[in-house]
Amino acid sequence: MVIVENDERFCVNVSTIPDAGNGLFARTLLAEGEQLEVIGVLVPAGSVSDVCTQYADHYKFRVGDLLLIPLGFGGMVNHSKHPNMEKVIDGQTVYLRTTRAIHPGEELFFTYREEFFKEGKREDSSCVGRQLWRDFGLSNHQI
């Protein structure tokens, strides 16, 4: 299987969030409601494939009883309490959809799970922390 990310509307660059590493940016003007399909591999939660990819737990998206391990741009979108994208699940496909117009060069963000952060919890590397992040379809970086 060969998976290729080829959406010319996006590019990866250094995030505007200090110490967050890279983030995803718009290369073109994106209208409100445009979608980025999160490409990747679906694996059953708790399966050998899930356990063997623990290194990617912070990037996985929950899709019913399955987990989507993103292999493209979708895994590069960082968290913000003021997102410009939202997660949309259609069957077994995950999209990130713009909530407003996005200008070229602007970084893309979505809220991983607001309630998790309101409780004062942050990403942690413990088994419980990894499970919480995986259970709620959360992605990569801390607040």
Per residue in 50-78, pLDDT tens? 999 998 888 889 998 999 999 999 999 99
Question: What local confidence, expressed as pLDDT, does residue 136 receive?
Answer: 52
Closest by CA position to 10, among listed 60, 74, 59:
74
What is the mean pLDDT of the segment spanning 1-29? 94
24 or 19: which leads in pLDDT: 24
Question: What local confidence, expressed as pLDDT, does residue 30 receive?
Answer: 98
Per residue in 90-143, pLDDT tens? 999 999 999 999 999 999 999 876 433 443 434 443 333 443 444 455 544 433
Domains of the chain (ranges, CATH numbers): 10-112+124-135 (2.170.270.10)
Per residue in 72-89, pLDDT tens? 999 999 988 899 999 999
Q: Which two tokens stand for residue 36?
A: 């980025």
* pLDDT band for position 49 (cuts 50, 70, 90): very high
Closest by CA position to 40, among listed 64, 18, 70:
70
